[in-house]
């Protein structure tokens, strides 16, 4: 019978021979993973106390403050960007710059919302500008750098406030002018140290100018701040 099959169907001749003979062992291990396997479980931060989380974030923010105050060519601000520091600085600055209502007879001091909006929309526009000019930095990294570099201006605001506790004279104005100018140029220099690396070499000036303008406007708001009587 096998020969008849072989002669009538030459194409399928060899197939009838194919079978799994019992002396070929088919064995192996099929292990079913039981339980979760993600490595994230080791670094899950959901179970730690809130104090640890806050302290860790504060330490990261503080470390970035140090990087801004001594701007070296480091990538700490760029690699782990966070927006806590800029938020803290922005709120502090806006609170200190807040003016009374216009009916109190003061010349219009900026309101909280005005300062907040200026800082954040200014940062967004500068970021868009640097991206359009061909920058390699990402959106939030740029926001992070610009926000952290407001730190010298916040320090200048505190100093101005202290100076204004004394008499409102031309000496105090000169002192405030020097402090604000120094801190504004420090801010610009610090942010360009981080931002300019991500631009093509011949366009650095095009990116630096809006940053200069941005910190100039903030510095001008600080300088023209006068306390309520």
Partner 1 sequence: MSASQGSTNTNTEPWGSFEDNNIIQGSGSAVIDMENMDDTSGSSFEDMGEMHQRMKEEEEVTAEAAAIHPDGVVHFDQLMGKVFLKLLIYLVSTQVWQAGKQQASKAFNLYANIDILRPYFDVEPNQVRNRLIESLIPVRMINFPQKVAGELYGPMMLVFTMVAILLHGMKTSGTVIREGTLMGTAIGTCFGYWLGVSSFIYFLAYLCNAQITMLQMLSLLGYGLFGHCMVLFITYNVHFHSLFYILWLVIGGLSTLRMVAVLISRTVGQTPRLFLCGTLAALHMLFLLYLHFAYHKMVEGILDTLEGPNIPPIQRVARDVPVVASAVVNATIKSIAAVVQSQ
Is 194 buried (19+), middle (13-18) or exposed (0-12) by CB count in 10 A?
A: buried
Q: Which stretch binds partner 1 (CB under 8 A): 49-57, 78-86, 167-175, 201-209?
A: 201-209
* Contact criterion met (CB below 8 Å) for 179 and 225: no
Residue 112 interacts with partner 1 (CB under 8 A): yes or no: no
Helix (H, G, I), strand (E, B) or coil at 65: helix
Residue 118 interacts with partner 1 (CB under 8 A): yes or no: yes
Residue 203 interacts with partner 1 (CB under 8 A): yes or no: yes
Residue 100 interacts with partner 1 (CB under 8 A): yes or no: no
Q: Which of 129, 172, 181, 185 binds partner 1 (CB under 8 A)?
A: 129
Q: Any residues with CB less than 8 A from the CB of 4 and at least 6 apart, and which?
A: none
Residue 110 interacts with partner 1 (CB under 8 A): yes or no: yes
Q: Which of 6, 82, 114, 197 binds partner 1 (CB under 8 A)?
A: 114
Q: How many CB atoms lie within 10 A of CB 138?
A: 14
* Contact criterion met (CB below 8 Å) for 151 and 119: no
Indicate if the alpha-carbon torsion angle 30, 34, 37, 42 is positive or negative: negative
Q: Which stretch binds partner 1 (CB under 8 A): 19-27, 34-42, 81-89, 174-182?
A: 34-42
Chain residues that interact with partner 1, rule: CB under 8 A: 32-35, 37, 102, 107-108, 110-111, 114, 117-118, 125, 128-129, 131-134, 202-203, 205-206, 209-210, 213, 216-217, 220, 224
């Amino acid at each position: 019978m096998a020969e008849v099959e072989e002669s009538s169907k030459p194409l399928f001749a060899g197939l009838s021979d194919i079978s799994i003979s019992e002396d070929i062992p088919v064995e192996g291990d099929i292990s079913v993973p039981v339980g979760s396997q993600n490595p994230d479980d080791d670094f899950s931060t959901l179970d730690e106390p809130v104090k640890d989380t806050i302290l860790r974030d504060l330490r990261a923010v503080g470390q970035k403050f140090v990087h801004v105050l001594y701007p070296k060519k480091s990538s700490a601000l760029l690699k782990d960007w966070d927006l806590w520091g800029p938020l803290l600085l922005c709120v502090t600055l806006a609170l200190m710059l807040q003016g009374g209502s216009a009916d109190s007879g003061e010349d219009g001091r900026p309101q909280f919302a005005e300062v907040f909006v200026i800082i954040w929309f200014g940062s967004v526009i500068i970021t868009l500008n640097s991206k359009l000019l061909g920058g390699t930095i990402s959106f939030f990294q740029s926001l992070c750098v610009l926000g952290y570099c407001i730190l010298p201006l916040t320090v200048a605001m505190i100093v101005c406030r202290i100076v204004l506790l004394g008499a409102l004279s031309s000496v105090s104005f000169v002192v405030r002018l020097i402090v604000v100018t120094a801190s504004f140029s420090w801010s610009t220099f610090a942010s360009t140290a981080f931002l300019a690396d991500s631009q093509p070499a011949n366009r650095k000036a095009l990116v630096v100018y809006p940053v200069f303008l941005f910190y100039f406007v903030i510095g001008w708001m600080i300088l023209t701040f006068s306390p309520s009587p």
